[in-house]
Structure 1
């Protein structure tokens, strides 16, 4: 069979399966009416997002165990949402309508909040950039008291969740020198990953320029070497469509009679016995007012919170698990005084640095808008062959630059500044002594990463364009998610505290200066780079600091860490087995358990966390005789 015929067959099969995916009875057969709810299930998974669907799939593999998933959102059945173009599209219907409080270090601007409200969660609307952090990122989790959560402990779950497919166009691989090691990926996992069959010519020049300024190219990053410059696969299937939690974990399992999904319902609270055992959830139809009828459903074995970085801590707080002072102010009886619930919020704060190429190579990313002939060719390549520029998601290459490379003469001064700080000065006022101790342990690890040549501090995604987002990967600042004490069911207050610690500004200035160095590399000169923003007249640290304050955002949709996996005496919320401190029968299996944000897009990491969580839950039940 010719290569073109093979592609057409794959395309036809994809469309045939997608028709079922969109509109047939199979789609809704596991969406239950609230009137059909059982009084009890073995497991209740709170949240049908990315992690919730993984855990529900794995728990329901045992036909003797009943699993209920309760999700606030519903399905996004727009065919375009699985196309590569959706990588830069965040449909409002799939998001919670929330914004941050004014950010004091960003000129009191409110900033965008990304929290998914859709089946599949963030995997439904993300950029399909499928990378992992470096080994040091996960080893730092283990150093915070979490045995088994280092890179070696997580690698089997990275692999379990993934199938790596050989790139479909060997000519592109050879021309761009895309290197990869399939052995660090899985061979039969649900999530499909591969390299898109297109590379902008300018990307190859950018790789060479990185090499000229001390950023080497990794042969393969996913095996624990996600630093310097490297190629990144996309989580797409062989036909180039989004491979995500909904179509790879939920759809194949939806016909299981022991798996039920209830959409458009909010979990108000987890209910506890007098011995602090989580036994039920109280749920309410989405959009109904406070005081509307609720339904209580019991869990025979365990309740698993997978409501994400925003609503996992919110549900805990509403349930009486959280900071005592906050709960008392809201009139909520305290079940477990855990000050860390809703604290430790971290994200990758971005700022856009703008250059232009005066002698750019052709074609380049802007050619899709400026050259009608090329745009028509690109459309033909995609519709007929599933190839060409429209096969790209958010790109396929990235620099994760160590601070020692960005600022070789000044990185030690930044480390010294961080270690000399009185930590409480820049932390939320409500931090307790335990939380302060936990942050000090985190700071030791962060500053070690700042001095490491094998850990990225800033991300520079690149795909041939002159401009890029500089993303702070390892912030020193910490934010909060706090319930509204006068209306506990209203959306919580979100304060990223972006750049509240001046060390983060120093890091961002280092990144901006390094970007200029990269643009000045010999290979770049054939493209004629000229600086637009912050501008060549912005040279001093004070001027760059003003630019940072006026232009930085708070989030790249990687928010995490608000129910951190750390010891309770360090302000942690869950133990290494993911059980919530101070209660029984309740665990957390989502992105909120991360203690320190890794220097990577978080999608692949969440799959690994959820796969490991499922194994922990199963083992716990087996040990207890369930």
Structure 2
């Protein structure tokens, strides 16, 4: 649907590509000025009146479905080559698709960005943007705190001596265990996604906001060196040129933002020329620096069914700092109240009728991947090569081995131990470092945090795609605001960081317009 009549002229002040996590924020903030006109291009449908989307507890059913772009991974010699990278095809983007675990980035995350050349993005500068967020970010409600998740928290605290955290966003932490903060409404388990918080209240109230749903942006339009608009194709096959009088803002995410740039002739010259794509601007960093939070899994069968009250089946977690010289946590666990055996089953493991999982996760992975095109046809999915577990020191793989060992310590500690019947995978007989590493890498999966493919950096950084004002280097009238601009990965789940990128981008745009 469109929030304005069909005769709305195609020329607006700003065209935003992507009605997802950051795009929703920017659209809301810019159109608060009734004299500013904005068109949002969103490839997916409306999320209103969609209980399958708006009910947080139903998130797992969205993966791989009709609202998922579902990007495959290229062959991973040291990892799992069967990982499917879910990217949401719906208003609100991945905030309409994920578990809405909401962490304010740690000060060390922002300061690392500043050290990498993102001047003005240090912790002191970024902290105020968290308080501007409109999402309802609250700790998991008491009624949603499953008994076995409570016992996991107690057991982890007893086994590892980490502090119990009540409200991870109250102050910075190095380690701790507790229930997460979620962007949701506990009374009805409704998402407080970017679309719910930023677009639903205004999309039918502001005539200066036009939202084009189920519309795909396939190329940027240029007037000389200036991005002047976006070419789009609707679901019915018809097309349109949207002209931006001021700027085009690309918020299509870490996969589709570099994809759009490269199909528009902005990217590594040799790669584009090899595909016959005319090179408009040689920008070698587009698609490089692909980041993710890979994790493995260890699964236990429980003695019987566990209580089914939950916000979204992974309501509690643990952070550990193994190395006292690093500023934040270097190992993380989600605790799943389900036997998460999708990848182990490929190795012959069986899924127990009742069970739980711990997923050792790498907060600061050292491997770096790459995204690239395989065709000049914009409808062909790009290749995602995460190069999992390829860092020279083998830090990433060793982190997962340490995680499995710590998970076993927690599992044999009361009160959690009383729930558990047996370790299903990898199984108690798998004990050596090499065996554990092979298992951990083969069953590794993603928590859907791709980032970094149009990284922000200093003007003299050859692989930086945007400068600290989010402007694409060498192109006028074009900015990027999404997870692709991350120079490095946040140690925590990145959704709140993307929301804050949106808030800062809106401020930058407002300031420039004035």
Does TM, normalized by the shorter one, top 0.5?
Answer: yes
The 3-state SS of whatever aligns with 2:140 is coil
1:252-311: CA deviations, max 9, x gaps?
11121111011222212112232x1111222222474xxxx6422211111100111111
Match of 1:366 among 300, 306, 309: 306
From 150, 157, 182, the equivalent of 2:122 is 150
**Which residue in the other structure is 2:370 paired with?**
480
In 2: Cα distance, 1:205 partner to 1:470 partner: 18
Tell me the distance in 1 between the aligned counterparts of 2:453 and 2:153: 36
Identify the residue that residue 461 of structure 1 maps to in structure 2.
Answer: 335
**Are 1:100 and 1:495, in contact at CA under 8 Å, matched by a contact in 2?**
yes
Question: Contact conserved, 1:40 with 1:300, CA < 8 A, in 2?
Answer: yes
- 1:100 aligned partner: 73
What is the rounded CA distance, in whole Å, between the counterparts of 1:604 and 1:394 in structure 2? 20
Q: CA RMSD in A?
A: 2.3
What does the per-residue CA deviation read over 1:346-382, in whole Å, with 9 as the maximum and x for residues that have no partner?
1111222012345x8xxxx6344xxxxxxxxxxxxxx
Report how far residue 84 of structure 1 moved. Answer: 3.4
Asked whether 1:300 is paired with 2:245, we answer yes
The answer as to 2:498 corresponding to 1:602 is: no
Please say if residues 302 and 421 of structure 2, whose CA atoms lie closer than 8 Å, have aligned partners that are also in contact: yes
CA contact (8 A) 1:87 1:394 kept: no
Q: Which residue number in structure 1 is paired with residue 192 of structure 2?
A: 243
SS in 1 for 2:297: strand
Displacement after TM superposition at 1:123 (Å): 1.0
Deviations 1:415-436 (A, max 9, x none): xxxxxxxxxxxxxxxxxxxxxx
Residue pairs, 1:351-362, within 5 angstroms: 351-358=296-303
Structure 1 stretches of 5 or more lacking a match? 1-27, 162-188, 369-388, 405-449
Structure having the larger proportion of residues in helix: 1
SS at match of 1:94: coil
Q: Distance in 2 between matches of 1:206 and 1:190?
A: 28
Deviation of 1:483 after TM superposition, in Å, equals 1.6
- Residues 302-350 of structure 1 show CA distances to partners (whole Å, capped at 9, x for unaligned) of 1100111111001111112111111111222323221111111111112
Indicate yes or no: 2:65 matched with 1:115: no
Please say if residues 139 and 179 of structure 2, whose CA atoms lie closer than 8 Å, have aligned partners that are also in contact: no
Runs of at least 5 residues in structure 2 that lack an aligned partner in the other structure: 339-354
For 2:154, the equivalent position in structure 1 comes to 208
Question: How many angstroms apart in 2 are the aligned matches of 1:63 and 1:226?
Answer: 44
SS at match of 1:234: strand
Partner-residue secondary structure (3-state), 1:235: strand
* Alignment-derived partner of residue 327 in structure 1: 272
Q: Deviations over 1:453-498 (max 9, x none)?
A: 6324333336697422222222111122212234344211112222
Give the 3-state SS of the residue equivalent to 2:78 in structure 1: helix
Q: TM-score, normalised by structure 2?
A: 0.88
Q: How does 1:70-89 map to 2 (within 5 A)?
A: 70-76=41-47, 77-89=49-61
* Cα distance between partner residues in 1 of 2:502 and 2:361: 25
Equivalent residue, structure 2, for 1:471: 361
Quote the Cα distance in structure 2 between the aligned partners of 1:38 and 1:508.
Answer: 54
Report what 2:348 is aligned to.
Answer: none
Q: In structure 2, what is the equivalent of residue 490 of structure 1?
A: 380
Cα shift readout 1:496-537 (whole Å, capped 9, x = no counterpart): 222233321111111111112222335544445632211221
SS of residue matched to 2:461: helix
Give the one of 295, 305, 308 matched to 1:350.
295
Conserved 8 A contact 2:45-2:91: yes
- Decide which moves more: 249-258 or 227-236: 227-236
Of 322-331 and 523-532, more deviation after overlay is shown by 523-532
> For 2:405, which of 510, 513, 537 is the aligned residue?
513
* The structure with more strand, counted as a fraction of residues: 2
